[in-house]
Amino acid sequence: MDKFNIYALIAIGNALGAFAIGFFIFLQNRKAKANATFFLLTITVTIWSTAYYAWQIADTASSALFWSRYLMAGAIFIPVVYIHFILAFLGKTEKNKKSLFLSYLIFFGFFLFNFSSYFVNRVESALNFKYWPKPGPVFHLFLVLWLAYAFYGTYLLLVAYKKNKGIKKIQIRYLLGGIILGYVGGSTNYFLWYGIPLLPIANFFVILQLLAIAFAILKYRLLNIKIIATEFLVGLISLILFINIFAYESGTELITNIIIFMITGIFGISLIRSVIQEIKIKEKAQRLAFQLKEANKKLKKLDEAKSEFISIASHQLRTPLSAVKGYAAMLLEEVKDPERKDALNKIFLSNERLIKLVNDLLNLSRIERGKLQFNFKERQLADILDSVIAELQMLATRRGLKIIYNRVDLPLLKIDEDKLRQVFINIIDNAIKYTPKGTITIKTYLDENNVIIAVHDTGIGMKQEDINSIYEKFQRGKTGIDICPSGTGIGLYIAHKIVEAHNGRIWAESKGVNQGSTFYIKLPLPD
C-alpha cells in the first residue's frame, strides 16, 4: 500500500471513529452540555476527515480543490467548538455567552470565504501528494486564530487544573493530553500549505485526542458501558426470539415461541435493572471513597496544626512554671508558719501537676510529629526509681498512703533516663491518685532476658474493658473519671510509646473494681 492510500485510510478511520465516539458520549448523558458540545466537536472532525479522504482519492485538480475547501468547512469550526466544549466542561458557558457568540460569528465569517480563492487558493503537487492546497490571504488570519484558540484552551485547562482536586483534576489532565495530541496532529497538515516539506504524519493523533477527551468525560463512569452492553445483548436476543415467533410449524410451537420470548423479556428487563442498580451502588461507593479521602486529608492537616500549636504553647509555658516552682520551693524552706506553709505546699504541688501536664502535651506533640528523640545510655534502673519515689513520697504521705520499695540493683540497661523517669512518675503518680487508702508496692526482678518493674496498688481497680483502652490517646477508665475527673488521658499513651521505643512492653492487670491494680513494665536486658 503506498503513502497515498495510507493517508486516505487514516482519514476515513478518523471520520468513522470520531462520529462513533461522539455519538456514544452523547448517548451517555444527552442533557449534559459537555457531552453535547463534544458530540458537535466530533461532527466537525468527521466532516474534516471525510473530505480529507475524498481529497486524497481525487483524480483531478478541480475535484481535489473542491474537497480541500470542503474539508476546511469542518476544520474552520474545530477551534471554536473545542473552546465551547472546554467552557462547558468547566461549567463556564453562562459567563462566556457573548464571547462564544462572537467567536462563532468570526469563524462563520471564515466559512463564508472558504469556497473562494481568498481562503483556499489552488492545489498543486507537494512531496508525495499530487494535489495539495495552497492558502489564500484570509487563510493566514484563520491560522493565527486557530493557534490562538489552541493556546487559550490550554490556558483555561491549566488554570482549572491548579484550582481543582480529585476526579476533576484527573479529567483535566486527560483533556490537556488530548489537546496536545490533537493540535500536534492537526498542525502537521499546515506545513505543506506554506511549502515546508513536512508530511502530515501525525493525523492519526486526532482520533487519539478524541479518545482521551472521551475517557476524561467518562472517568469513573466507565461502568456505564456495562449497562449499554447488557441492553444491547438483551435487545439482540429478544429480537432473535421475536423473529423466531413467526417461524413455527404448529400452534403448539407458536405458543412455545411466544412464551420463551416473554420469559426472556421479563428476565432481560430484570437483568438490566440489576446491572443499573449495581452501577449506582459502585458509583456511590466511589464517591464516598473519594469524599472520605478528602476528609482524611483535611483531618491530617488539622491534626498537624493541633500538634504544632500544642508544641508552641507547651514551650511557652515551661519557663514561667519553672520559675514558680523555684520560688515556691525557696519560700517553703523559709516560711515557718504552718498555715502559710500549707498554702505554699498546695501551690508547689499544683505547679508540679501543671508541669507534668505541659511535659505530657509537649511529648504528645513530638510523638505525633515523629520528633520524640531518645538518648540511650547505660544506666542503673534502681537509681531512677529511688529518685522518682523520693519525689512522690510527699504526695503519698499527704494522702495517707505508704510506698513500699526495696531497692534491688539490676544489670545496667541501655535506656533514656529522662524518658523512663517520666514513665515511672506517671505510673506511680496514678497509683497514688487512684488509691484512697492502703499501700503502693513497687518491685523489680529479672525474668529470663528481661527486667520487670511491677507497681501494685490497693486502689479502685479497673474493669476489663477499661484495661483494653487506657493506652489509647485521650482515653481513661470510667472508674478513674469518677475519682479524678481532671485527668487528660495522655500519660499512659506517652508511657506506652516510650516503653515501646525501648523495645519493651507495658500492661496492666486488675481483678475488678475496688480490688487494686498492677502495672507491669518489661525492658529487655542488653545482649
DSSP-derived secondary structure for 331-367: HHHH---HHHHHHHHHHHHHHHHHHHHHHHHHHHHHH
For residues 521 and 527, give the distance between their C-alpha atoms in angstroms, rounded to a whole number. Answer: 19
CB atoms within 10 A of CB 229: 11
pLDDT digits (tens, 9 = 90+) for 444-477: 999 888 999 999 999 888 887 778 777 776 555 5
pLDDT digits (tens, 9 = 90+) for 5-17: 677 877 887 788 7
The pLDDT of residue 1: 38
Q: Do 413 and 378 meet the contact criterion of CB atoms below 8 Å apart?
A: yes
The pLDDT of residue 4: 43
What does pLDDT average to over the chain? 80
The pLDDT of residue 524: 92
CB atoms within 10 A of CB 8: 17
pLDDT digits (tens, 9 = 90+) for 485-527: 555 567 788 888 889 889 999 999 988 888 889 999 999 998 7
The pLDDT of residue 521: 93
For residues 460 and 508, give the distance between their C-alpha atoms in angstroms, rounded to a whole number. Answer: 14
Residue 197 sits at φ, ψ, to 5 deg, of: -75, 70
Angle between helices 3-28 and 205-218 (to 10 degrees): 10
Q: Pick the residue with more confidence: 176 or 141?
A: 141
Q: Do 519 and 506 meet the contact criterion of CB atoms below 8 Å apart?
A: yes
For residues 241 and 265, give the distance between their C-alpha atoms in angstroms, rounded to a whole number. Answer: 10
* pLDDT exceeds cutoff 70 at 315: no
Reduce the DSSP state of residue 32 to 3 states and report it: coil
The kind and range of the H/E element at 441 are strand 438-447
pLDDT digits (tens, 9 = 90+) for 408-436: 888 899 998 988 988 998 899 889 888 98
- Pick left, alpha or beta for residue 195 (phi over 0 → left; psi -120 to 50 → alpha; otherwise beta): left
- Burial pattern 64-102, b for ≥16 Cβ within 10 A else e, equals bbbbbbbbbbbbbbbbbbbbbbbbbbbeebeebeeebee
Question: Predicted confidence band at 2 (pLDDT cuts at 50, 70, 90)?
Answer: very low
User: Of 114-118, 350-354, 390-394, 443-447, which gets the smallest average pLDDT?
Assistant: 350-354
- Pick left, alpha or beta for residue 64 (phi over 0 → left; psi -120 to 50 → alpha; otherwise beta): alpha
Burial of 331 (0-12, 13-18, 19+ CB in 10 A): middle
Q: Tell me the pTM.
A: 0.45
* pLDDT exceeds cutoff 50 at 223: no
